[in-house]
């Protein structure tokens, strides 16, 4: 049993229930450094202090999930980080996929929302938001990730049951 997920373009309004879109577009421009740089300030709500947490910076490099681009990508699980937000900002200008769900104890394929993010758009998942792990379209696509380091378990995974089935993304 599978459900085909509609893929919507990513923008701040559509993504507001889930977190922040980190992009210059529609952000306020501040001139700094004596006019030699533009600053687009404070673009995401970094929420990593729970339970003695601290912000950490990492680089993720995504591997492709299918070898034939005509095949759908299958979504059969989601995860959430109860102790901190998690931001992904692409380091190469290439599109990628974002799959999220509203906060709930248990979710299934019918609860998912999919977005196509452009290479100049990062996303910041709110603390505890259900999301799918990194879904790159270009093998080796790299992201700067700002999330939480610290004590206690900060990852909950949920695999869909056979009865729930899975979701498919066609591009």
Residue whose pair of structure tokens reads 């673009």 in the numeric block: 43
Distance of CA 171 to the CA centre of its chain: 18
Residue whose pair of structure tokens reads 């559509």 in the numeric block: 14
66 lies in the binding site for a copy of itself (CB under 8 A) = no
Q: Which is nearer to a copy of itself, 1 or 59 (CB)?
A: 59
42 lies in the binding site for a copy of itself (CB under 8 A) = yes
Q: Using CB under 8 A, which of the segments 6-14, 101-109, 145-153, 163-171 binds a copy of itself? A: 145-153
33 lies in the binding site for a copy of itself (CB under 8 A) = yes
Residue whose pair of structure tokens reads 């980190």 in the numeric block: 22
Residue whose pair of structure tokens reads 């901190």 in the numeric block: 84
Q: Please identify which residue in 5, 10, 21, 43 interacts with a copy of itself, judged by CB under 8 A.
A: 43
133 lies in the binding site for a copy of itself (CB under 8 A) = yes
Q: Spell out the residues 6+ positions from residue 170 whose beta carbon is closer than 8 angstroms to its own.
A: 4, 72
Exposure class string for 48-69: b at 16+ Cβ within 10 A, else e: bebeebebeeeeeebeebeeee
98 lies in the binding site for a copy of itself (CB under 8 A) = no
Interface with a copy of itself: number of residues (CB under 8 A): 47
Q: Which residues bind a copy of itself (CB under 8 A)?
A: 22-24, 27, 32-44, 46, 48-49, 54-63, 65, 87, 89-93, 120, 122, 124, 133-134, 142, 144-146, 149
């Amino acid at each position: 049993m599978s459900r085909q997920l509609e893929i919507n373009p990513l923008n701040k309004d559509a993504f507001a229930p889930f977190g922040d879109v980190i992009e210059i577009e529609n952000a306020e421009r501040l001139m700094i450094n004596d006019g030699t740089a533009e600053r687009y300030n404070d673009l995401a709500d970094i929420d990593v202090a729970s339970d003695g947490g601290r912000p950490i910076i990492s680089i993720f490099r995504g591997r492709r999930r299918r070898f034939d681009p005509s095949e759908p990508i299958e979504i059969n699980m989601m995860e959430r980080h109860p102790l901190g937000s998690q931001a992904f900002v692409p380091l190469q200008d290439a599109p990628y996929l974002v799959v999220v769900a509203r906060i709930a104890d248990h979710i299934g394929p019918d609860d998912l929302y999919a977005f196509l993010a452009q290479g100049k758009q990062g996303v910041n998942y709110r603390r505890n938001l259900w999301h799918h792990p990194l879904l790159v379209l270009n093998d080796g696509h790299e992201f700067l990730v700002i999330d939480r380091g610290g004590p206690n378990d900060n990852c909950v995974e949920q695999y869909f049951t056979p009865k729930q089935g899975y979701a498919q993304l066609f591009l």
